[in-house]
Structure 1
Amino acid sequence: MAQEPIDMRKASLGIELGSTRIKAMLVDERGTPLASGGYTWENRFINGYWTYAMEDVTHGLQVCYASLKKDVKEKYGIILTSVGAIGISGMMHGYLAFDVHDNLLVPFRTWRNTTTTEASTRLSQLFGCNIPLRWSISHLYQAILDKEPHVPHIARITTLSGYVHHRLTGRKVLGVGDASGMFPIDSEAGTYNARMVDAFTALTAGYGFPWKFENIFPTVLTAGESAGFLTEDGARFLDPEGDLTAGIPFCPPEGDAGTGMTATNSVRPATGNISAGTSIFAMVVLQRPLAGFHREIDVVTTPAGVPVAMVHCNNGTGDIDGWVNLFGQMLECAGASVPKHKLYDVFYGKALEGDEDYGGLAACNYMAGEPVANVESGRPLFVRVPGARFTVENFCRVHLFSAMAPLRMGMDILMKEEKVQLERLWAHGGFFKTEKVGQKIAASALGIDVSVTQTASEGGAWGMALLASYMLKKNLGEKIEEYLDRKIFSDADVKSEAPDSELTKAFDAFMEQYPKVLEVERSARRL
């Protein structure tokens, strides 16, 4: 039976193009989820690059939006024709380059690619700060160094969220959080660092390209600013059935890091969060600049432009997903049928029952290269020595430990070397869906309380919807953190897990042997 109709003009829609799922979330004025839609997709490894086809982007968005419309129809008995505001989010970083006719010049190169070592190293030295391999400027400069023929024809480059936003509104803009994964941001100016822009311009002047940096990079906007309106063409693109009307306002498109900070209310200095899915990353909003230069730490920003220390690990739950799928196939071959969510609950739950030394097993979850650990290419591996206690419990434990290991390496730098002060980390993502398990392991691995809210499982699409809603309320004069405190999280249901001494001891032992595991991982690249 349909629920009571609501005024969709007061609702906000967030759409996030994540690594494995495109999700749409419609929320009311208090951020309460009203309806959702989704589409499952996967990246592909083609000609040496991790990529998604633009045809898959189009198809995925349309299927996702159609499922949202269906959910609205079933719940409220109405056809969705308009909402108060829309926001688009996507995987940060990467490289999407277009010519003057908006033709894609090379296939989308995602954040997962680690082919830019030379460019990253040179730019880090030039700018005096860490420029990660996955950042857009690294991809651009590497293409220049490799003399790729498409470079002189570039008219603009952007991220995935910027591409979709432009397709829907015609605006070549980007939220500051996502832009900070393209090029370093001057947080006081709220745009790209002018000194570094000049340095890059001088570095590339001799190539004689017809473009300039300021012409090909998107305009930077901060949370609450207007980022355009849905065009007639954009409405037909998103909703080919023709029900969606043009004119809906858009907030600045953001990256998945920014939506994760928003979804966990971690946008105020001295707050932090973990997003754990296909990749795992931690964000710590800084109270002061970092004292040192660390290759393992990026400095990006919140959606409002406040500096953030980011530990980004390319590899998260992908290897675990592979094992769960394999076990599910084995059960099907035996004539059993177990829901996927139950398989995950068992896998995660059994990890808490493993031996303190996890049976002498070893695992490395690298599906792709892992810059934090200085590993160029990924080969997921599981190793056991003769006599190891090869049990389900130990197997599950060592794989969950493996997922947290690279993050621990980066967080040790922030917590021990930089003396960053945090009371807790807020968490969201697939790693934390099984109640308590992911939280407990993350807390024990990192030595800090890990908390989740009831809405944490809604993920980045929900965070993006909140940013769209904030834009509608910006005239109240509130900062984003004030808005989230007052309107969204004032009565949040919070569940916290503290570090467990037994798990901490076990994880510390895992990290002691981890350098030896990485030796095996590096040698496996020859396979």
Structure 2
Amino acid sequence: MSLDVKSAIQSGKTVLGIELGSTRIKAVLIGEDNAPIASGSHDWENSYVDTIWTYSLEDIWKGLQDSYQKMASDVKQKYGITLETVGAIGFSAMMHGYMAFDKDGELLVPFRTWRNNITEQASKELTELFNYNIPQRWSIAHLYQAILNQEEHVADISFQTTLAGYIHWKLTGQKTLGVGEASGVFPIDLNTKTYNQTMIGQFNDLIAPKDLPWKLEDIMPDVLVAGENAGVLTEEGAKLLNPTGELKPGVPLCPPEGDAGTGMVATNSVAKRTGNVSAGTSAFAMVVLEKDLSKVHPEIDLVTTPTGNLVAMAHSNNCSSDLNAWVGLFGEFSKAMGMDLDINKLYETLFKQALQGDSDGGGLLSYGYLSGEHMTHFEEGRPLFVRSSDSNFNLANFMRTHLFTAFGAMKIGMDILIEEENVKLDEVLGHGGIFKTEGVGQSILSAAFNTPVSLMETAGEGGAWGIALLASYMINKEGNETLDDYLNEKVFADQAVKTVSPNPKDVEGFDQFMVRYKKGLEIERAAVEHLK
């Protein structure tokens, strides 16, 4: 045990980051060198209630408290001391979605997550109005769709925010968002680093005939950039996070960020010409742009880094959920055969099989569309596996195909950036569960993008570590030190990196798979229409 670590914990020189992902809430405590020293996590799942993907407020707080308590228990077990304070805290969560509250702070309708593809009319109308792509999952699309649907609650809205913004508000009393998170709520003006005021005026004019008792700027959170102070943990907030009462109030919080921004930070991909891919329940590729895109592309989101630089995002709603379900099925089979395999060993074995398959996956086809997929214009999904009578159906090709399709929808968006917009990308940094088995997901992604893919030794730490780094930057930056410099010099200077370059045969095979993938979308469409 390091005495320095124990001293840092006791003197409040650690930093805590908590991120609420789609299937896991993770808390990471980092030391003075920005390396993780303790962690805790809580598994959870969204619910499909009345055709809406949602999480209950009860599940949100139960999961937060459990992840915090497990992290604090990890501190107690490793260092023999009770965690009572930290130097700073940051909260992050899956971006977008819709949480609307009345004047008493009561949630008006169940939380509508990013996963819902229910705002097509709003998305199209706002994209046309602003001449700026407004994807279906963006908060403003949800708000406008609720207005179009004439939902009764709209007139009672006093505050609208995201999941990360909601938690930050309850713990600090501050209604604010980091600029990266805010960029998935409403378009950002890159000069002022806040909401685009011209577009806010256009929106207010658009809804004026509805005679609502609020204007858009009245109900949205304030916007802050990385490094700014976003309030302190209140007494009430400390009890919400740590009901047993050990955690003391008064801790400063950084601006709450979305999982896109924390992914950029965790992979040191906040500088121009850098990119990263976060692959889990959903998959998104982000490229920090050197200039604006030439035109609006409905497949491409424009968001920002936590410092307010423009980022192009190719986001797919579905990535590893169906793949995980198949691995679970193989796990059930192994148990039925009397073999109680470790889940990590099972994943490693199956993933490595994929490298033995035919370069194109043997003619097999799969769609892991557990939910709708905006990239290919599906409001609903049906997980689907298809093969022809002459496909080469074996385990290696089966696994390879499911790994291929995990990146399939995202690949369509990346092709637009690289081929149509001539975006330059030196390398891609990968992070997320699909990369845990060494060399497999990395090789598949490198073939998909025809670009070198690198993984850092901290790639598994993910967004919880990323938001902890943003909180650390807030309290430890020196003078006008930029986030780029802070990450390069104080976090990643000695970081070990493993890079895989694209194999030409694998690139050709993935391209062949994508021809099949695009042709087969009619089969997926028929499944959605006929399998209710």
> TM over 0.5: same fold?
yes
| Residue 17 (structure 2) pairs with residue 7 (structure 1) | no
C-alpha distance in structure 2 between counterparts of 1:220 and 1:102, whole Å: 20
Q: Partner residue of 1:163?
A: 166
C-alpha distance in structure 1 between counterparts of 2:110 and 2:61, whole Å: 15
Q: Partner residue of 2:234?
A: 231
C-alpha distance in structure 1 between counterparts of 2:393 and 2:36, whole Å: 43
Q: CA deviation at 1:2?
A: 8.6
Q: Partner residue of 1:273?
A: 276
Q: CA deviation at 1:261?
A: 0.2
| Residue 442 (structure 2) pairs with residue 439 (structure 1) | yes
Q: Partner residue of 1:33?
A: 36
Alignment of 1:335-346 (within 5 A): 335-346=338-349
Contact 2:447 2:502 in 1 (8 A): yes
Code of the residue aligned with 1:170 in structure 2: it is G
Q: CA deviation at 1:386?
A: 2.1
SS in 2 for 1:489: coil
Contact 1:364 1:517 in 2 (8 A): no
| Residue 113 (structure 2) pairs with residue 110 (structure 1) | yes
Contact 1:144 1:151 in 2 (8 A): yes
The Cα offsets for residues 274-308 of structure 1, whole Å up to 9 and x where unpaired, read as: 10010000111111111111011111000001111
The Cα offsets for residues 79-132 of structure 1, whole Å up to 9 and x where unpaired, read as: 000000000000000000111111111111000100000000000000001100
Q: Partner residue of 1:503?
A: 506
The Cα offsets for residues 195-247 of structure 1, whole Å up to 9 and x where unpaired, read as: 10000000001111111111110000000000000000000111111100000
| Residue 83 (structure 2) pairs with residue 80 (structure 1) | yes
SS in 1 for 2:286: strand
Q: CA deviation at 1:525?
A: 0.8
C-alpha distance in structure 1 between counterparts of 2:513 and 2:521, whole Å: 12
Contact 1:444 1:504 in 2 (8 A): yes
Code of the residue aligned with 1:7 in structure 2: it is A
Q: 1:259 aligns with which of 239, 259, 262?
A: 262
Contact 1:2 1:74 in 2 (8 A): no
| Residue 165 (structure 2) pairs with residue 124 (structure 1) | no
Q: CA deviation at 1:475?
A: 4.3
SS in 1 for 2:510: helix
C-alpha distance in structure 2 between counterparts of 1:451 and 1:361, whole Å: 28
| Residue 101 (structure 2) pairs with residue 98 (structure 1) | yes
Q: CA deviation at 1:29?
A: 2.2
Q: CA deviation at 1:387?
A: 3.5
Q: 2:316 aligns with which of 305, 313, 316?
A: 313
Scaled by the length of structure 2, what TM-score is found?
0.98
User: Unaligned 5+ residue runs, structure 1?
Assistant: none
C-alpha distance in structure 2 between counterparts of 1:433 and 1:153, whole Å: 46
C-alpha distance in structure 1 between counterparts of 2:408 and 2:210, whole Å: 42
C-alpha distance in structure 2 between counterparts of 1:133 and 1:68, whole Å: 35
C-alpha distance in structure 1 between counterparts of 2:2 and 2:459, whole Å: 26
Give the count of matched residue pairs: 527
SS in 2 for 1:344: helix
C-alpha distance in structure 1 between counterparts of 2:86 and 2:361, whole Å: 51
Contact 2:277 2:428 in 1 (8 A): yes
Q: Partner residue of 2:202?
A: 199
C-alpha distance in structure 2 between counterparts of 1:219 and 1:352, whole Å: 48
SS in 2 for 1:10: coil
SS in 2 for 1:150: helix
The two structures, once aligned, show a CA RMSD in angstroms of: 1.1
SS in 1 for 2:477: helix
Q: CA deviation at 1:360?
A: 2.0
SS in 1 for 2:314: strand
Contact 1:228 1:249 in 2 (8 A): yes
Scaled by the length of structure 1, what TM-score is found?
0.99
Q: Partner residue of 2:405?
A: 402
Code of the residue aligned with 2:52 in structure 1: it is Y
Q: CA deviation at 1:348?
A: 1.2
| Residue 48 (structure 2) pairs with residue 45 (structure 1) | yes
SS in 1 for 2:75: helix
Contact 2:8 2:32 in 1 (8 A): no
Greater Cα offset, 218-227 or 332-341: 332-341
User: Unaligned 5+ residue runs, structure 2?
Assistant: none
Q: CA deviation at 1:500?
A: 1.2
C-alpha distance in structure 1 between counterparts of 2:471 and 2:345, whole Å: 34
Greater Cα offset, 423-432 or 118-127: 423-432
Code of the residue aligned with 1:304 in structure 2: it is T
Contact 2:360 2:506 in 1 (8 A): no
C-alpha distance in structure 2 between counterparts of 1:88 and 1:2, whole Å: 27
Q: Partner residue of 1:376?
A: 379
SS in 2 for 1:5: helix
SS in 2 for 1:245: coil
Greater Cα offset, 453-462 or 370-379: 370-379
SS in 1 for 2:16: strand
The Cα offsets for residues 477-515 of structure 1, whole Å up to 9 and x where unpaired, read as: 201001001100111100000111221111111011112
Alignment of 1:380-391 (within 5 A): 380-391=383-394
Contact 1:2 1:75 in 2 (8 A): no
| Residue 527 (structure 2) pairs with residue 524 (structure 1) | yes
